[in-house]
Amino acid sequence: MQHLAKYIDHTLLKQDATFDQIETLCQEAKQFDFMSVCIQPHFVSYAKQKLVESTVKVCTVIGFPLGQNHRETKVFETKKAISEGADEIDMVMNISLLKTNKFHELYLEIAEIKHACSGRVLKVILETCLLTHEEIIKACEIAKEAKADFVKTSTGFSTGGATIEHVRLMKKTVGDKLQVKASGGIRSLSEMQSMIEAGATRIGTSSGVRILQGQTSQSAY
């Protein structure tokens, strides 16, 4: 079971999260040796301090959860997060650009944020529940062209989370060029294993502790 821990981004993105809860999140991440904690930008420097001398990375979200910020705003957010200690960036892409065929603008958004990451890992959140299969394929192709590191299914704040079908489609599209992160609604060991079998190499969940304990969580994310 422990070998699965490094698949998990231990996640707390709720609007009412407190510093005490972030401290607990970091303690759990160290105890179970998760890959990262995934938190709002406001908590990055605090989490970095709590995780010093551990192998757990700090992951934060950009343009979260709607992705509708101006490109320049997202780039600024990214640079600020990196300066405060973020190791990985999960950006919400601008879905409107995809759906209105402004593919070059979407490419520029991802490429500029990747540049702002200064070598750190960039995951592009597609929000697959709002996309057709054709749009998922196109978004993956653009993320690949822009040299992102991962495509990610979901924010967990929209109309649905990760599905095995979407993870398989994303992995088929990106091949070995990018990795796939499944997030949103993964609450049990069997669900996590199914996502991994479908091609995910990272799992975003707030239920990581219960999953590794063989329990099923009732968490919303």
CB atoms within 10 A of CB 207: 26
C-alpha 122/C-alpha 171 separation (Å) is 16
Q: Would you place residue 3 in the very low, low, confident or very high pLDDT band (cuts 50, 70, 90)?
A: confident
Catalytic residue among 74, 123, 171, 181: 181
Which helix (DSSP H) or strand (DSSP E) does residue 133 occupy? helix 133-145
Catalytic residue among 74, 114, 138, 152: 152
Q: With beta carbons less than 8 A apart as the criterion, state whether 35 and 203 touch.
A: no
The CATH T-level fold of domain 2-212 is TIM Barrel (3.20.20)
Q: With beta carbons less than 8 A apart as the criterion, state whether 148 and 200 touch.
A: no
- Based on the residue annotation, tell me whether 33 is a catalytic residue of this protein: no
Residues 172-183 have a mean pLDDT of 98
- Based on the residue annotation, tell me whether 181 is a catalytic residue of this protein: yes
Using the CB atoms, write b or e for 51-77: b if 16+ within 10 Å.
Answer: beeeebbbbbbbbbbebebebeebbeb
C-alpha 62/C-alpha 203 separation (Å) is 18
C-alpha 39/C-alpha 106 separation (Å) is 24
Q: What pLDDT sits at residue 215?
A: 85
- Based on the residue annotation, tell me whether 152 is a catalytic residue of this protein: yes
Catalytic residue among 90, 114, 149, 171: 90
Is the pTM value of this prediction over 0.85? yes
Q: Would you place residue 93 in the very low, low, confident or very high pLDDT band (cuts 50, 70, 90)?
A: very high
Residues 9-13 have a mean pLDDT of 98
pLDDT tens by residue, 123-154 = 999 999 999 999 999 999 999 999 999 999 99
Q: Would you place residue 221 in the very low, low, confident or very high pLDDT band (cuts 50, 70, 90)?
A: low
Q: With beta carbons less than 8 A apart as the criterion, state whether 116 and 148 touch.
A: no
Q: Domain ranges for the chain, please list them.
A: 2-212
